[in-house]
Amino acid sequence: MQPTDPPLYDLVIIGAGPAGLAAAIYSAREDISTLVVEKAVVGGMAALTEVIDNYPGFENGIGGLELSDKLYAQAKRFGAQVKTGIDVQKIARVGDIVELTTKKAPLQARTVLITTGSTYRQLGVPGETEMIGRGVHFCATCDGPVYRGRDLIVVGGGNSAMQEIMFLTKFASHITMLVRGPELKGSAILREQVSLLENLTIVYNTVIDKINVSDDKVTGVSATTNNEGVTYEAPGIFVLIGLLANTGAFKDSLTLDDRDFIVTDAHFLTSIPGVYAAGDVRSGSTWQIASAVGEGVSATLEIRTYLDNLAHAERHAKRAATA
């Protein structure tokens, strides 16, 4: 095969979080020429996580950075190329090839796997970023069980906050729910379920001003409730004000759901042939590291079949042309 400019990869994976790195381990190990491009740091959201307690195989938990390093080293061991500082801006299918526009050089691939994840919305108040994973949390499934028998504050008043509260209430002794507006927003069923919880107090018209920290531990929040400064105390704060899909680069080319997550079929295939999506960015994902890893692997097995069929069709066409 003639070399092309830009080089043609069998697979370009966009995003080096758990889903992308797990996919790269499988594809590179099977000699599928693989490039992983990442706009920020290798490891994705998992790398930001202080301790991961629910990833199978680590009975005492594992640091997010350590897990990311292990996934990265394993992908490199099998020959995956990983390039950071590459922000993909657009993709388009041209004939049998997918062209990727980046802020740097363009890329070409026979198949693309999108694993760009999602971003938790933050309050943007002092103390929040510094205490992520150490008293400030965004995911009840990930960190809720740590607060068994303790008090919690939940910030948010929409569907996701109410759903997560139904889960948190199994562990926390009491939850104070701080809601920005004068009422809860979202499903009537959830509002009804939440209103029946005995260990929940809902406080409306509340804006968070600051996360309070003492001796490097979260102690609660300072807030403004009905125009008055109030302090709410708890060792854990769940900020549940939304999750944004990292799909800005694909909104003109792929089918997205009503929350901008990428729609795929059961084979992880998007609305463009040869373009797959896995992990947190996929509509219907469960936003967990173990599922992101599993989805990355499953998508790669589908990609392998697609590439095998493509190679078969190319051989067939060549034979027909020379016959």
Ligand X SMILES: Cc1cc2nc3c(=O)[nH]c(=O)nc-3n(C[C@H](O)[C@H](O)[C@H](O)COP(=O)(O)OP(=O)(O)OC[C@H]3O[C@@H](n4cnc5c(N)ncnc54)[C@H](O)[C@@H]3O)c2cc1C
Q: Catalog residues that contact ligand X under the rule CB under 6 A.
A: 14-20, 37-40, 44-46, 48-49, 52-54, 86-88, 115-117, 120, 132-133, 138-139, 142, 246, 249, 279-280, 287-290, 292
Closest contact distance (angstroms) between CB of 247 and ligand X is 8
Q: Which is nearer to ligand X, 10 or 38 (CB)?
A: 38
Kindly calculate the radius of gyration of the chain based on its CA atoms and give it in whole angstroms: 23
Q: Is the dihedral of CA 83, 86, 88, 92 positive or negative?
A: negative
Neighbouring-strand partners of residue 132: 136
Supply 130's token pair.
Answer: 């510094």
Q: Which is nearer to ligand X, 98 or 194 (CB)?
A: 98
Does residue 273 have a cis peptide bond before it, meaning omega lies within 30 degrees of 0? Answer: no
Closest contact distance (angstroms) between CB of 278 and ligand X is 7
Closest contact distance (angstroms) between CB of 179 and ligand X is 22
To which H or E segment does residue 217 belong? strand 217-225
Closest contact distance (angstroms) between CB of 285 and ligand X is 7
Comparing CA positions, the residue from 162, 156, 167 lying closest to residue 239 is 156
The H-assigned helical ranges of 78-236 are: 140-143, 159-168, 188-195
Q: Which is nearer to ligand X, 117 or 135 (CB)?
A: 117
Question: What's the rounded Cα separation, in Å, for the pair 49 and 61?
Answer: 11
Instruction: Spell out the residues 6+ positions from residue 42 whose beta carbon is closer than 8 angstroms to its own.
Output: 16, 21, 68, 72, 82, 84
Question: What's the rounded Cα separation, in Å, for the pair 33 and 164?
Answer: 41
Is 31 within 8 Å of 8 (Cβ atoms)? no
Closest contact distance (angstroms) between CB of 246 and ligand X is 4
Closest contact distance (angstroms) between CB of 84 and ligand X is 9
DSSP 255-277: -B-TTSPBP--TTSB-SSTTEEE
Closest contact distance (angstroms) between CB of 299 and ligand X is 11
Q: Which is nearer to ligand X, 14 or 32 (CB)?
A: 14
Q: Which is nearer to ligand X, 64 or 274 (CB)?
A: 64
Closest contact distance (angstroms) between CB of 204 and ligand X is 27
Question: What's the rounded Cα separation, in Å, for the pair 182 and 245?
Answer: 28
Is 295 within 8 Å of 114 (Cβ atoms)? no
Q: Which is nearer to ligand X, 43 or 157 (CB)?
A: 43
